[in-house]
Amino acid sequence: MTTNLHLPTLLWEPIVRTALMEDLGIGGDVTTQALAQPGQQLHAIFRSRQNGVLCGLEGARQAFAILDPSVRFSQIKQDGNQIAQGDVLATVEGNATTLLAGERTALNLLSHLSGIATHTHHIVQAVAGTKARVACTRKTLPGLRSLQKYAVRAGGGSSHRLRLDDAILIKDNHIALCGGNIQKALLSARTYAGHLMKVELEVDTLEQLEEALSGPGADVYLLDNMSVPQLEQAVRMINGRALAEASGGITLKTAPAIAQTGVDVLSLGWLTHSVQALDIGLDIVQS
């Protein structure tokens, strides 16, 4: 179980509101409007249909509360909890038109974020016993970054940069800006950065790493798409002078061997840009 999880309400609310507007359109849920009795009340439960790690309960709660603040939403589980197929996660009670109008938005957020937390947990477990941390990247779905990175934390992972202004990360296109000169790029970055700002350099080859290490150097080296033997050599070359981060095509199967090379961080873009959702349902239990 991951503890100390928190994401301010103000970060959830605009995302949930946008999702509700996208789903309801101008006329609202015409199906429920046609079928529900005036004032009809419902009691429903969120239930997991798969094993996994839970995340996104605040988003689910707001999907109903924004439509009707009188809806009663009760959490049974907490974000970061490991859950099993059949577990009741939360209950919700209120007007039928509200519950059915907010149902899809609630489930979309809960299933997507729980999927991220679950797959992150799997990778974290796969590299247990090594010093490597599992991190997500900026390869997030537009508008969902804060929630997706929160879900990674719920699964036991950590974040790379949240935004472009968090740290300096020199990639191949930035080196091209400097005429292909790695030393020039690092020196310019060091000159620009304040004393609290980290500088990271992406390298594709051991030769690039050697060139970087012979000059002003970086705080972190992103070792992109390197083989396990190359990563082992890179870690020896860095020799504790900076953090070593492995990236590029890392999977659940390959993660253990990569972590055992001695790298400090494994960064995985797919945790946020293309992970499979966890199957969660909302079932009416009484009317």
Measuring CA to CA, which residue among 195, 196, 199 is closest to residue 174? 199
Catalytic residue among 17, 77, 139, 198: 139
Q: Which of 58, 87, 202, 264 is catalytic?
A: 202
121 contacts 79 by C-beta, under 8 angstroms: no
- For the question of residue 139 being annotated catalytic, the response is yes
Tell me the residue type at 264. D
Mark whether 171 is an active-site residue.
yes
221 class by beta-carbon count within 10 Å (0-12 exposed, 13-18 middle, 19+ buried): buried
**3-state secondary structure (DSSP) of residue 184:** helix
Active site residue 224: yes
For the sheet containing 199-203, what is the strand order?
A: 158-159, 133-136, 265-267, 243-247, 220-224, 199-203, 168-170
Q: Compute the distance between CA of residue 38 and CA of residue 98 in angstroms, rounded to an integer.
A: 12
Catalytic residue list contains 202: yes
Task: List the catalytic residue out of 171, 184, 190, 198.
Answer: 171
Report DSSP state, residue 162. Answer: S
Please give the Cα distance from 165 to 178 (Å, whole number). 20
Please report the sign of the dihedral spanned by the C-alpha atoms of residue 238, residue 239, residue 244, residue 249.
Answer: positive
The amino acid sitting at 29 is D
Catalytic residue among 87, 224, 245, 264: 224
Q: Kindly name the residue from 17, 77, 104, 198 that is annotated as catalytic.
A: 104
13 belongs to the catalytic site: no
Would you please indicate which residues are annotated as catalytic (active-site) residues?
Answer: 104, 139, 171, 202, 224
